[in-house]
C-alpha cells in the first residue's frame, strides 16, 4: 500500500505493565465487503488485511453475501447470507445476522467498503456498539444511486462513521458535501500487491488457450457497464491481428459476447 496518514482510530492499545506481552489480547479489526468475489475492492481489503495482520491485529473478513467461492478458503471469513438480498425482508434478516455477528466479535474497529457496504456496515456497526467505524469509497459518483449518496451524506454529517477513506479520483466529488462530512475525509491512494509467476509468456498463453504470437489486449475486471469493456471490443476491427481476452464475470457477459 502507499504511504498515507495514520488513522489514529486503529492505534493498538499499549500493553499493561502488570501483564506479560504474550497475554495481551490483539486488537480485532473487521473488514466488511458487500459481496465475495475476486474484484478490485475485495483485493484492496485483502491486501489491507494482510498489512494489518502483519502489524499485530486480529483481522476478520465479513461479506454481506457469498457471490462466488473466491473467499471460501480464506481464514477468519464470515458470510451473512449465501444469496444477494432481493427485498426488504431479506435485507432486514441480513442486517440482524450482521449485527449479531459483530456483537459476538466485539472488534475495536469496523472498516466498510463500497457504497452499499458503507451504509449497511455503518448502521450495523452502531447497533452492535462498535466505537470506531471507517468507510471507504472508490466508486465514481456517476455510478452511485442518488438515494445511496443521500443516505451516505446524512450518515457522515451526523457522525455515524468516524472517517471515510477516498482516493484521488473521487476526492474532488466531495466538494459540495456538508463541512461536518468533509472533516471526516482522509485520502489514501490504493496500491497493488506485487504478483508474479514462474510461467513464461508462451506457457501462460498455452494454459489459457490464447494465441502465442498475436498482439493481445486484455482486461481482468468485473464484467460491468461501468468498466466500458465494450470499447475494447470495438477496437478489434482496426487490426485483424489483434486478439482480446477478458478474465472476469458479471451481468455484462452476454451483452459483451453478443457485441464480439
pLDDT of residue 1: 36
Stated pTM of the model: 0.80
Residue 10's pLDDT is what?
A: 61
- Provide the grid cell at 83: 444469496
Sign of CA dihedral 217, 222, 228, 231: positive
- Tens of pLDDT along the chain (260 residues)? 333 444 556 655 444 444 444 455 689 999 999 999 888 889 889 999 999 999 999 999 999 999 889 899 999 999 999 999 999 999 999 999 999 999 999 999 999 999 999 999 999 999 999 999 999 998 888 889 999 999 999 999 999 999 999 988 889 899 999 999 999 999 998 777 788 889 999 999 999 999 988 899 999 888 888 889 999 999 999 998 999 999 888 889 999 999 99
Confidence (pLDDT) at 9: 62
Strands (E), 53-106: 58-65, 77-79
Q: What residues contact residue 21 under an 8 Å CB cut-off, 6+ apart?
A: 15
Instruction: Give CA angle at 248 (203, 148), nearest 5°.
Output: 155
Q: What is the pLDDT of residue 129?
A: 97
pLDDT of residue 7: 57
Residues of the chain with CATH 3.40.50.2000: 25-187
Which CATH number does 25-187 carry?
A: 3.40.50.2000
Which pLDDT score is estimated for 11?
53
Question: What pLDDT, on a 0 to 100 scale, did the predictor assign at position 20?
Answer: 46
Amino acid at each position: 500500500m502507499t504511504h498515507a496518514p495514520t488513522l489514529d482510530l486503529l492505534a493498538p492499545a499499549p500493553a499493561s505493565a502488570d501483564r506479560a506481552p504474550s497475554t495481551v489480547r490483539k486488537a480485532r479489526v473487521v473488514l466488511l465487503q458487500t459481496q465475495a468475489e475476486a474484484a478490485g475492492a475485495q483485493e484492496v481489503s485483502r491486501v489491507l488485511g494482510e498489512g494489518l495482520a502483519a502489524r499485530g491485529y486480529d483481522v476478520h473478513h465479513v461479506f454481506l453475501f457469498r457471490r462466488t467461492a473466491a473467499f471460501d478458503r480464506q481464514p477468519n471469513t464470515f458470510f451473512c447470507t449465501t444469496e444477494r438480498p432481493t427485498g426488504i425482508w431479506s435485507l432486514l434478516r441480513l442486517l440482524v445476522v450482521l449485527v449479531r455477528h459483530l456483537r459476538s466479535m466485539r472488534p475495536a474497529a469496523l472498516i466498510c467498503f463500497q457504497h452499499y457496504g458503507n451504509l449497511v456496515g455503518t448502521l450495523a456497526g452502531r447497533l452492535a456498539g462498535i466505537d470506531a467505524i471507517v468507510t471507504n469509497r472508490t466508486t465514481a459518483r456517476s455510478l452511485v444511486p442518488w438515494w445511496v449518496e443521500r443516505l451516505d451524506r446524512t450518515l457522515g454529517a451526523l457522525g455515524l462513521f468516524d472517517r471515510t477513506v477516498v482516493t484521488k479520483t473521487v476526492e474532488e466529488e466531495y466538494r459540495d458535501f456538508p463541512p461536518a462530512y468533509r472533516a471526516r475525509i482522509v485520502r489514501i491512494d490504493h496500491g497493488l500487491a506485487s504478483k508474479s509467476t514462474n510461467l513464461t509468456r508462451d506457457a501462460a498463453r498455452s494454459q489459457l488457450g490464447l494465441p502465442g504470437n498475436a498482439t493481445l489486449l486484455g482486461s481482468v475486471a468485473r464484467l460491468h457497464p461501468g468498466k466500458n469493456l465494450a470499447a475494447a471490443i470495438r477496437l478489434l476491427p482496426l487490426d485483424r491481428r489483434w486478439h482480446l481476452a477478458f478474465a472476469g464475470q458479471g451481468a455484462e457477459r452476454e451483452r459483451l459476447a453478443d457485441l464480439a
